[in-house]
Amino acid sequence: MNAGISTGYASGTGVTYFDQLGNKLGESLGLNLSLPIFNGKQVRTNVKKAELQLTSARLQEENVRKQLLATLESVRNDAVSAQQRYFASKEQLDAASESFRLVTEQFNAGIKNTVELLTEKNNYLNALSQQLQAKYQALLAEKLLDRYMNHPIEL
């Protein structure tokens, strides 16, 4: 709501200043009413935006959970695979060890030559190396899986 009083003066009219002020008195009274018609659409729009952001956040959370599950499954598969490689390399080492022992006995008996003995020794050392690598890969994969499962890591 507003109100006002005004007056004016014009020179050269032959009427004195104070007479003009008294005769040209203007009064005003006003009322202003504001209805927020379009504000409701802004509020509804903001609510819809917030709902979409909430849905987006939930979908993102679900995506992260699925990625974590895929990572855990991959780490578990790696651990199982590394363990199987370790067991296979252990059997291979046992076979190479037995073969080296037999060739050594045959060499001592004069049946095998030095080249055959050194070849078997190299095969044995390679099997030993592969068994050690497989052992530590299996251990690493197991500890990594423990880390993802929030189990304490003990060496």
pLDDT single digits (tens) 17-56:
667 666 766 788 888 877 666 676 787 888 999 999 999 9
Is residue 134 within 8 Å of 82, Cβ to Cβ?
A: yes
Instruction: Check: CB of residue 94 under 8 Å from CB of residue 127.
Output: no
Residues 107 and 117: beta-carbon distance below 8 Å: yes
pLDDT digits 0-9 by tens, 51-95: 999 999 999 999 999 999 999 899 999 999 999 999 999 999 999
Q: Are 144 and 82 in contact (CB under 8 A)?
A: no
**In this structure, what DSSP letter does residue 152 have?**
P
One-character DSSP codes across 26-87: EEEEE------TTHHHHHHHHHHHHHHHHHHHHHHHHHHHHHHHHHHHHHHHHHHHHHHHHH
Helix (H, G, I), strand (E, B) or coil at 153: coil
Q: What is the CA radius of gyration of the chain?
A: 47
pLDDT > 70 fraction of the chain, expressed in percent and rounded = 85
Give yes or no for residue 145 having a pLDDT over 90.
no
Q: Give the mean pLDDT of 114-127.
A: 96
- Say which residues have a Cβ less than 8 Å from residue 104's Cβ, sequence separation at least 6: 117, 120
Mean local confidence (pLDDT), 96-110: 95
Q: Residue 24 has what pLDDT?
A: 67
Single pTM value for the model: 0.59
The better pLDDT of the pair 30, 10 is held by: 30
CB 100 within 8 A of CB 120: yes
pLDDT top residue among 35 and 122: 122
